[in-house]
Amino acid sequence: MGILFISNDICFEHKPSGQHPERPDRLSAVLDGLERARMGSTITKLRAEPVDENLILQVHDQDLIYELKEISEQGGGVVDADTRMSSASWKAALVAAGAGLQAINELQNGTATSAFCAIRPPGHHATTSKSMGFCLLNNIAVTARKLINEGEKVLIVDYDAHHGNGTQDVFYSDPNVLFISLHQMPLYPWTGAVNERGIGDGIGTTLNIPLRPGTTGDVYLSAWEKLALPIIEKFEPTWLLISAGFDAHRRDPLTELGLTSGDYNLLTSRIIETVPAGRRLVFLEGGYDLQALELSTCAVLHALVDIETHPEELSNGGVGSEAIDEIAEILRTHEY
């Protein structure tokens, strides 16, 4: 069995306007990455279908849905300082939020070992009540909510360079979701400190790993092994969802991290070991350099079928190793 690749051409029709970084060409670059991967019959392509709005209400407030629909029906417009819609954006957002639900159904039927949701607009900044940071609906949260309703324990790993504040917001008090974010600090949205650990029943099920500008792949792997794995082993997840932002790549124009596409291959390979095959989903999030998007997509697709590939060499020797030790010391004072 191979990989599901789920997308829909309506995602090209979400056009934030002008020279906005979250542009349709991003999805073209991801499709180029699929072609570069040359995986033949290992890939099964599916057309993403829109989510039922009632399922969105399990994650987002009704007022937010009304607002987004109204802006789109008016031909598009401004959602916030960074986030804009066109007339087709609401339809694209429904499809983006529905892709993961399709993937779950297919994986539960045993048709594949993993799924890659090539969708836009992205979602991990969208909170329960607010669309922001180029994101309209929180795609990965909609999928996680369905799994939780079915009694699953969900691990969400977010390696987008920007902290997934929206996903954290949705599940901050939920003991059935372990949210782990590796992100640049300082950087938009200015959240994701180590001491953000959850509240109520969810204390200890949020792990933020803020990384310094220039951090390279060897430090990411160290953070994964020293900080994340011990907590994951205690949590014992049954499903894995990855917010795959490729803006931690060294070419990205909006960030200052030092990863290569080779690092994405190795890091993803390590992450997917945490759950059995057939319970792994990847969601496209950020990434604003087209070449980096193409190479990194190829690298992650290969990782999902256990192919070691280095479209670019692994990075190492950058700054940041001391930050891992500092975070480890902070974590020792908390119970996870």
Active site residues: 125
DSSP symbol at 41: G
- 181 with 192: CB under 8 angstroms? yes
The amino acid that residue 174 corresponds to is D
Helix ranges (DSSP H) in the chain:
25-37, 53-56, 62-73, 89-108, 139-149, 165-171, 217-223, 229-235, 261-271, 290-304, 321-331
Q: Report whether 217 contacts 263 (CB < 8 A).
A: yes
DSSP state of 314: P
Helix (H, G, I), strand (E, B) or coil at 241: strand
Q: Which two tokens stand for residue 291?
A: 């070449």
Tokens coding 267: 């890091």
Token representation of residue 113: 């070992």
